[in-house]
Amino acid sequence: MMKKLLLLLTLTLTITSYSQVNVTYETGGQAYTLGTNGGVTLNEAISNDEKTGINLSDNCGRITETNGAFDWDFAVWNDPKFNLNAAQGHFISLKVLSKNETSFTLKAQTRHWTGAANEFNQIEQTVNVALNTWTTVEFDFSSATFNNNWTNQFAFQFNSANGARDGDVYYIDDIVQSTNSVLGVEDKSLNKLTISPNPVTNRFNIPDYQKFKSVSIYNLIGQEVKQLTSERTIDVSDLTSGIYILKTDTGSTSKFVKQ
């Protein structure tokens, strides 16, 4: 039976004039500061011992629960600081891997202390993922109202009935801020990248594949299901039937149907 837990990881980000977020855990010079509130720890960067599926990078972040911790114990990520606006982007995506839980809620909230109590403005969505599988999750903050004088937080909540914690480990990687949703662009933009045939049974071709270094394929709930080197022919025979979004490393996108 699936173990029950509530994991709250709060990433505290003060909104000021800063650049877009792009944390891969791979390169030097990525400024971020970690802290904790209670018994949960977040390792800044570790060797990726879960090199599978869409994430074959060498390093990633790791969330380690303390066995028996309370639901208000969480890891705090104090930096980097950035703006959530049209110029820098309202969308945050990241890769996550869960060892024990399949359902979690992503929440964005602003917190302001009035002198008597905290005021919150928040949006959230719940995503189901397969165990032991790297999944890309995208969070749309465009409908949230963020006040520059408020503390802005991001939280990942792994839900359960009683909030119990039992020392589970979770991984995060490739935290990216962007101006467009991979699923939220208009069809006119999607058609900028040409592929054929479409619909596709097993493989499709990208005529301009030399212009890109890599391509990613997303399903319609925002999960990255494939990440590949850009080649003329892309094999999608292992995908289930449905509608997918192809996105290149330069931002070009195309919608295709897998039969």
Q: Look up residue 176 and give its DSSP letter.
A: E
Distance CA 66, CA 53 (A): 28
Distance CA 78, CA 235 (A): 41
Copy the structure tokens of residue 10. Answer: 């709060």
Distance CA 131, CA 56 (A): 17
DSSP letter string over 184-204?
TS-HHHHTTS--BSSSBSSEE
SS (H, E, C) 18-51: CCCCEECCCCCCCCCCEEEECCCEEEEEEECCCC
**Rounded to whole angstroms, what are the CA distances from 139 to 19, 84, 94, 95?**
18, 12, 9, 12
**In the chain, ranges of CATH 2.60.120.260 domains:** 7-178
Predicted TM-score (pTM) of this structure: 0.58
Residue with tokens 């969480």: 74
For 187-258, CATH gives 2.60.40.10
Is the per-residue pLDDT at 173 higher than 90?
A: no
Distance CA 103, CA 128 (A): 5
Is the per-residue pLDDT at 65 higher than 70?
A: no
Lowest mean pLDDT segment, chosen from 79-88, 120-129, 205-214, 215-224: 79-88
Q: Mean pLDDT over all residues of the chain?
A: 69
**Rounded to whole angstroms, what are the CA distances from 121 to 46, 110, 118, 160, 223?**
33, 5, 10, 23, 26
Copy the structure tokens of residue 129. Answer: 């993922």
Average pLDDT rounded to a whole number, residues 96-106: 74
pLDDT at 107: 64
Domain 7-178 fold: Jelly Rolls (2.60.120)
Is the per-residue pLDDT at 1 higher than 70?
A: no
Is the per-residue pLDDT at 6 higher than 80?
A: no
Contact call for residues 54 and 218 (beta carbons, < 8 A): no
pLDDT in tens, 102-124: 766 666 666 666 777 666 666 66
Average pLDDT rounded to a whole number, residues 237-243: 85
**Which runs of consecutive H residues, i.e. helices, occur in 149-236?**
187-190
Backbone angles phi, psi at 173, to 5 degrees: -160, 160
Closest to 103 in 3D by CA, of 164, 60, 160: 160
Q: Look up residue 4 and give its DSSP letter.
A: P
Instruction: Identify the residue with better confidence: 208 or 148.
Output: 208
Copy the structure tokens of residue 111. Answer: 């917190």
Contact call for residues 129 and 96 (beta carbons, < 8 A): yes
pLDDT in tens, 127-161: 777 788 888 777 777 766 555 545 556 666 655 44
**In the chain, ranges of CATH 2.60.40.10 domains:** 187-258
